[in-house]
Amino acid sequence: MSGSLPIEPLGKLRQRKSTKWREYDADVLPLPVAEMDYPIAEPIIEAVTEMMRRSDTGYLGKFPELGEAFAGFALRRWNWRVNPESIRITTDVGVATIEILRTLGSTGDRVVVMPPVYPAFYNWTKEIHLTMVEAPLLKDGVNYSIDFAALEREFAAGAKFFIISNPHNPLGLIFAPTDLKSIASLAEKYNVTILSDEIHAPLTYSGNTFTPFASVSEEAKERVITLTSASKSWNLAGLKCSVFFTENKELHEKLEPLVKGIRSRASLIGAAGHVAAFSQADDWLDSAIATMEASNRLLHALVEKKWPNVKLSNPKNSYLSWIDFSQTKLGEDPAIELLEKARVALSSGIPFGAGGKHHARLNFATSDEILEAAIDRISPWL
């Protein structure tokens, strides 16, 4: 499969039952939540359907096929050799993050993030009574970079954990290997454990190279716990499955008590679907990336023409656009106003932490017609 993926018309999309299509009134164009309007890859449909035909719908236990499938994908796409036996299964990246922090940490431990960043990071740490601290990314127009001085300051102040969105949500930023190496060196110096959320990694655009954090150096290999899933890249969030692993033997052993408990909460059907995604759906993935690249180009062209006072991020990955509305008539939370006035739903920038005011996140993994309609609806309010 090559080229763009077909997308159903709005009326058909509204028949879906996911939160994207049930959260808002029927007159709202929903572009917030990170799920795609693309059709599911045929190998995944076949794998899930075959499980149902066999009435194979019991509990999830040992499932070595998933570790093998992900290791194969990592080698093909990133030339990264992962030990399949180190890979553990869980419900989703959120559950894994919470349980890892609960296992390795204690109440009040400091967790560093680099905002603006995925809001769930804040919710997860709050749930288990850890202390979130921020080392905000440096902003230069629509470009962002790591503030290493701020990062070292927080590490030196006693941080125990660092959570990185790699690639970065909502910016679509691909971190350079040299930057990841520098973070790993700081983590080694201050004894910080790194959790690398790499859920968007497969969606890296052509001409760009994603680097798995744990692969950049020996220091990183010993410091990083990788968390990922097929959920974002193949649109499988509803199948409730993800993986996590570390190449540090001590950390691997410390996390052993988690394995059976969190694995049993994941979906057997989801595990089968993930195996198909990682082992049989590369062509579909390439088509999805091409579709996103085309939609991103369209979005930039429309904004340049119709929203001259608005700035867009330049993502190198995935289907999320970080939009700066600070030079418009909208207030600190543009998403609230645009939902009410334009009947377009975006993600509010404020929950993304420092740097989120006057911003919103737009999901462009949809049809050209829906993107154009959303732009037209919003234009009068800027």
Structurally, how many domains does the chain consist of? 2
Q: Is residue 158 part of a domain?
A: yes
Give the pTM: 0.97
pLDDT higher than 80, residue 3? no
Q: Is residue 136 part of a domain?
A: yes
The CATH number given to whatever domain includes residue 127 is 3.40.640.10
C-alpha count within 13 angstroms, C-beta hemisphere, residue 378 = 33
Show which of 214, 247, 280 is a domain's final residue.
280
pLDDT of residue 259: 86
8 Å CB contact between 332 and 347: no
pLDDT per residue as tens digits for the range 248-271: 999 999 999 888 888 989 999 999
8 Å CB contact between 28 and 345: yes
Q: Report the C-alpha gap between 305 and 218 in whole angstroms.
A: 48
Q: Is residue 40 part of a domain?
A: no
For residues 197 and 257, the model is more confident at 197
60 and 127 assigned to the same domain = yes
Average pLDDT value for residue range 14-31: 97
pLDDT per residue as tens digits for the range 78-128: 999 999 999 999 999 999 999 999 999 999 999 999 999 999 999 999 999
8 Å CB contact between 100 and 94: no
**Domain coverage including residue 296:** 10-30+282-381
pLDDT per residue as tens digits for the range 342-364: 999 999 999 999 999 999 999 99
